Amino acid sequence: MIKQVTFLTPTRDRLNFFTSIGALFFALGIYDIISNSFYKSNLTSFLPEILSFFTPLFFGFIGLYLIRIEYSGNKTLDTLNKNINSNWFNSILTLLLIFTLIKSLPTLLNWLFFDANFTGTSKEECTGSGACWVFINVWFERLIYGLYPNDQIWRINTAFITLILTVGAAFFVSEKNKKYIIVFLLFVFPFILISLLSGGNFGLEKIPTNEWGGLALTFIISIFAILFCFPVGMFLALGRRSDAPVIKYSSIGFIEFWRGVPLITVLFMASVMFPMFLPDGTFLDKLIRVIIAITLFEAAYMAEVIRGGLQALPRGQYDAGKSLGMGYWRLHLLVILPQALKLIIPGIANTFLALVKDTPLILVVGLLELVGMIDMAKTNPDWLGFAAEGYVFAGLIFWIICYAMSRYSQNLEKKYKTDR
């Protein structure tokens, strides 16, 4: 009978030995794939090509096997084994992901940085095989401000600097004074923003909304839609749970209608069809119509998110509030909604993120936000063939915005987390 081989089985008794040998094999695998990716050579170049290709994977697999020790007592090692090295299948997936990333790095870095062109004023100066960031440099102002007149850009800067300073101040003032900042953002700042950007008063030149665009327009639509879709969605959620048949079924009909229609259709209707139903001589600006359309569309989804939070609360919360003599509105404003909204912070953040990423669809109605300006720039005869750089730039901007909103929502979750 062949005895079972046990001396190669990782055990806690010989933790230091197995982790050292395992780390060595894993490091050899990583070194082999890096040297092959960047310098076109590896440790086993003397072997046939097919064997040499799989050698890093073999080294890495042996290394991960040797450090797979359950309950080793080392917190870092236990976390590593639990998440990416729990069995042979996860080990292979981990190695494939690491090796694929390393293999793709040289091409990606060369295109983004090493072979890219960063300075210049025309596409003739893009001589490398990498990205032509000159395209972004030349069009940067248009991508941020759209077709807004150059001598009036200070108005956009002033509005958004005011917003940044106000939001930043909220992190330093006491909880008692934060309500004043919220009131300012909800009821004062929108009028400041519109007055500055549109002009026509206080001696400011009037700028039509068809000249607004770029990233500034993305922010404007997102800010107003977020400000209005949340309260509208909250009232729709309460209406859908109402005992009054008219309110309940009206809310259900509204929500299901807007959820059943694609946003691109909603924008087309708001831009083209809606003006046909207005009385002669009545005009509603296209940007206002688009903001209203996006607000109503996202409010339907927000209503369902809030309704989920309301349904998650136990019936006892309602009974407790009623036992204190609270009416409908006091009960919901002071007891129900604070608890429900705390439970659905991830859902609210997800709806806001979807709203921000839906803004490029306004291109179909002739408004040029960030992606729309890139589409316009790439069709310029002097810059044909440089769309990739523009879309990478837009993707980076949207990622930064969405990541910041996601991190903030996670902080809110931790802040309002309770052991309910």
Inside any domain, residue 199: no
Q: Given its phi and psi angles, is residue 91 left (phi above 0), alpha (psi -120 to 50 degrees) or beta?
A: alpha
Q: Which domain holds residue 110?
A: 12-114
pLDDT of 221-240, one tens digit each? 999 999 899 999 999 999 99
The answer on 242 and 386 residing in a single domain is yes
Residue 201 lies in a domain: no
39-50 b/e (C-beta count within 10 Å ≥ 16 → b): eeebbbeeeeee
Residue 141 confidence (pLDDT) above 90: yes
Is the domain of 144 the same as that of 84?
A: no
pLDDT digits (tens, 9 = 90+) for 24-56: 888 888 888 888 777 777 777 767 777 777 788
Do residues 139 and 60 share a domain? no
Q: State the Cα angle at 348 between 310 and 165, rounded to 5°.
A: 130
- Tell me the pLDDT tens digit for each residue of 53-99: 778 888 888 888 888 887 777 888 888 888 888 888 888 888 888 88
Asked if residue 153 is part of any domain, the answer here is no
| SS3 sequence of 159-206 | HHHHHHHHHHHCCCCCCCCHHHHHHHHHHHHHHHHHHHHHCCCCCCCC
Task: Decide: 78 and 67 in contact? Cβ < 8 Å.
Answer: no
Same domain, 366 and 311: yes
Helix, strand, coil share (%) of the chain residues, nearest 5: 75, 0, 25
pLDDT of the residue at 3: 40
Q: Is 213 helix (H, G, I), strand (E, B) or coil?
A: coil
> Are both 241 and 377 inside the same structural domain?
yes
Residue 140 shares a structural domain with residue 77: no
**Would you say residue 163 lies in a domain?**
no
More confident residue, 72 or 177: 177
The structural domain count of the chain equals: 2
239 and 94 belong to one structural domain: no
Averaged pLDDT, 294-320: 92
CATH number for the domain that contains residue 383:
1.10.3720.10
Q: Residue 128: inside a domain, yes or no?
A: no
Query: The pTM is what?
Result: 0.83
- In a shared domain, residues 361 and 268: yes
Most confident of 120-124, 198-202, 367-371: 367-371
